[in-house]
Structure 1
C-alpha cells in the first residue's frame, strides 16, 4: 500500500513537469539588449572624425610663352602723331623697349643713329628675306650712321638688333603691302637727373641772350622760361609744374633743315651738349605747336 502511494506521487510530479512550458524569450531582451546598450555607450565615447575640408582649386598659372608675349606687347613702341619731323619719326629711347619699324617691299626704310654713334654689330632674325645694310651720312660736320632696311615681300616680321658704342637698339620690322612705309626713324635721348649732365658753370660765364617765342599755335604751358649756354652746352629751362612727359622734342635748325638733336632731361631743364643759333620745340603733326629759340646776335 505504501509502495503504491509513492509511485502515484512520483507519477503526478512527472506529469506536472511534462505539462509546464517555459515562456519564450522576447526578441531584443537579454543579451541583445545589453549589447545594444554597450554599443550606445561606445558610440558616445568615440569622437566623430573631423570633417574633410573641400579641396580648393588653384588658379591656372600663365605659361612662360604667355608671360613673354605679354611682356613684349607692353614693351613695343609704335609711331604716334606727336613725334614726327616731316617724314622722320622720333622715338624716345628707353633701354629694353622694342621699336617698331613699318616697311614696304617697294621702298627702303632708314634708321638714323645719334651723331657720332658707331655701330659695332648688327643682326637680323630673318636674313634670307630681309636686306639690312649699314651706310654713313654726314650731318653738318659730324658723321652719322644710317641702317637701310628692305623686305623682299609683304607680310613678314623679324627683329633687328643694333649694338653701338653707346647703347643697344631692339627693332621689330614689319613689312606691309600698299604705299605706306616708315621713311626714317630716329631717337631722342633724354636721361634723368642722375645722368652725366655736368653742373652749371658760374653765372658770369653764362650767356642768357636768347629770344623765345611761339611761331605757330597758342603759347603752350611748356614754353621755356629761359635759355642760356656756356659756349659748349645749352640749357633750356621749363616752368615749374611741367613734367618730362609733357616736354616736346627739340630740333636744331640748320641750313639743311630741322634735325633732332641729342639732349638730356635734368629736372626742369634740357641739357644740350652743343651750342646752337636756332632751335625749335615742336609738338603735334597736323597743326603742330612750335616754339622757336633764337640766340641773339647769331648770323643766319
Structure 2
C-alpha cells in the first residue's frame, strides 16, 4: 500500500500559495453611514395602580357593644400615712417572673420609680448587673451590718459593665439598696431566703 503523496501534496501547496497572492492589494472601500446624534426620549407615564382598601370580614362575636360605664369612682385615700406609703410601695414592687429569666439571669426592663425585688441566700453572692456604658455614682444599702455590698466591673470602654454584688450573712433579712448611675437611679428591695 504505497500512497503517492505528490498527488495530494502539490494541490495543497498551490492552494496555500494562492492565498498569499492577494497580499499587497488595497482593501475594498466601504462607505460608512454618518453617526446619528442621540436623542432623549420622554419618560413614559407611570401606570395607574389602584389599591383597594381591605374590608374586615364580619365574624361572630367580633362586633360587640361596649358595656356602659359611668365615671369610675375614685377610691378614697386612707387617712393613715403608713397605710398610704405601704400601699404605694406594694404597687411599685416588681417581683421576678418565670418569663423574665434568661438562663440564670432575671432581666427587668427599667421603669422609673419601680421597686425591684431581689432575693439572695447566705453564702451566695447575688449580682445586680447594670446596662453597658452606665457609670456607677453611688451604692447605698439600708443595712450594711448584716448585708455585704460591693461593686466591680467587667468589659472595657463602651462595653464596660458595672456589677453590684450583695450577700446576706443570714436568712430572714430585709433591706433596701439604692444604686445611682450616670443614667438613672435603681430602687431595690433585698430579701434573704434559705
Q: TM-score, normalised by structure 2?
A: 0.59
Q: Distance in 1 between matches of 2:135 and 2:182?
A: 6
Q: Conserved in 1, the CA contact under 8 Å of 2:78 and 2:84?
A: no
Matches within 5 A, 1:169-180: 169-177=186-194
Retained in 1: the 8 A contact 2:138–2:179?
yes
Q: Tell me, yes or no, if structure 1 residue 150 matches structure 2 residue 162.
A: no
Change (3 A) 1:66 1:107: same
Structure whose CA Rg is larger: 1
The 5 Å alignment of 1:88-237 reads 88-138=105-155, 142-177=159-194
Change beyond 3 A, Cα 1:113–1:60: closer
Q: Counterparts in 2 of 1:1-300, with a 5 A limit?
A: 61-138=78-155, 142-177=159-194
Segments of 5+ residues of structure 2 without an aligned counterpart are 1-75
Q: Give CA-to-partner distance per residue, 1:214-234, whole Å, 9 cap, x none.
A: xxxxxxxxxxxxxxxxxxxxx
**Cα distance between partner residues in 2 of 1:86 and 1:60:** 42
How much has 1:62 moved relative to structure 2?
2.8
**Which structure shows the bigger proportion of residues in strand conformation?**
1
Which consecutive residues of structure 1, in runs of 5 or more, have no partner in the other structure?
Answer: 1-58, 178-300
Equivalent residue of 2:160, what SS? strand
Q: Distance in 2 between matches of 1:146 and 1:88?
A: 13
Matched pairs, number:
119
Pair 71,116 (structure 1): closer, same or farther in 2 beyond 3 Å:
same
Higher relative contact order (CA 8 A, sep 6+): 2
CA distance in 1, matches of 2:165, 2:150: 5
Matches of 1:88 and 1:139 in 2, distance apart? 21
Report the CA distance shift for 1:123/1:140 in structure 2 as closer, same or farther (over 3 A): closer
CA shift at 1:83, angstroms?
A: 1.1
Separation in 1, partners of 2:145, 2:109: 30
Alpha-carbon distance in 2 for matches of 1:116, 1:78: 25
| 2:30 corresponds to | none
CA deviation after TM superposition for structure 1 residue 140, in Å:
9.7
Once residues 80 and 93 of structure 1 are traced to their aligned partners in structure 2, the CA distance between those partners, rounded to angstroms, is: 15
CA separation in 2, counterparts of 1:118 and 1:141? Answer: 11
Going from structure 1 to structure 2, the CA distance change for 1:172 and 1:120 (only over 3 Å counts) comes to same
1:143 shift after superposition:
1.1
Q: Once superposed, what is the RMSD of the aligned Cα atoms?
A: 1.8
